[in-house]
Amino acid sequence: MAAAAAFGRAVLTAGGTMLALGAATMAVSSVGMGVARVVLARRKAATAVDCPSCAGEGRVRCAACRGARVIEHHPFAGDALLFAGAVSARTPWCACPMCGAAGEQVCVNCLGERTVLPAPREVRLYFCEAEGAR
Ligand SMILES: [Zn+2]
Ligand SMILES: [Zn+2]
């Protein structure tokens, strides 16, 4: 009986130790992540430029609907049912599935953050030459 009680206490103690270690690890790592995030944010703020893809807007016009929010599409267009006259094609407009009828999408260059770190000089040169500009 005493042995069982001692075993129970040992299990409880071990469990408590593991819990405390886990909590301590989580606290240390979350503090470390927070510090790293602040340092990175400050570094970015010091050198960031307006995102060239969205001109610092964070969002770009939807390429699928061109900002119209709807696209001309009928789910049965071209379907045999349509040609047989079983389905009407009088309302071919549907909400744009690419932007969810918002007319714009989050800029994939800056992920909506509006600013980006400037590209290294050699990358900029490469793109300028490829575009044939400047
Ligand atoms: Zn759209
Ligand atoms: Zn952008």
Distance of CA 105 to the CA centre of its chain: 11
Residue 24 lies in a domain: yes
pLDDT in tens, 105-118: 999 999 999 998 88
Ligand closest to 103 (CA) is: 1
Residue 127 lies in a domain: no
Residue 87 lies in a domain: no
Residue 35: give the domain boundaries. Answer: 1-47
Residue 123 lies in a domain: no
Whole-number Å distance, alpha carbon 120 to ligand 2 midpoint, is 17
Whole-number Å distance, alpha carbon 118 to ligand 2 midpoint, is 12
Cα separation, 64 vs 60, whole angstroms: 11
Whole-number Å distance, alpha carbon 93 to ligand 1 midpoint, is 12
This prediction's pTM: 0.50
Whether residue 107 contacts residue 54, with contact meaning beta carbons closer than 8 Å, is answered with yes
Residue 113 lies in a domain: no
Q: Tell me, what's the pLDDT at 79?
A: 61
Whole-number Å distance, alpha carbon 107 to ligand 1 midpoint, is 13
> What are the residues whose beta carbon lies below 5 Å from ligand 1 (ion)?
62, 64-65, 96, 98-99
User: What's the number of domains the chain is made of?
Assistant: 1
Q: Tell me, what's the pLDDT at 134?
A: 46
Cα separation, 36 vs 42, whole angstroms: 10
pLDDT in tens, 31-89: 999 999 999 888 877 888 999 999 999 999 999 999 999 988 776 656 665 556 655 55
Strand locations in the chain (E): 49-50, 59-61, 70-72, 93-95, 104-106, 115-116
Cα separation, 56 vs 112, whole angstroms: 9
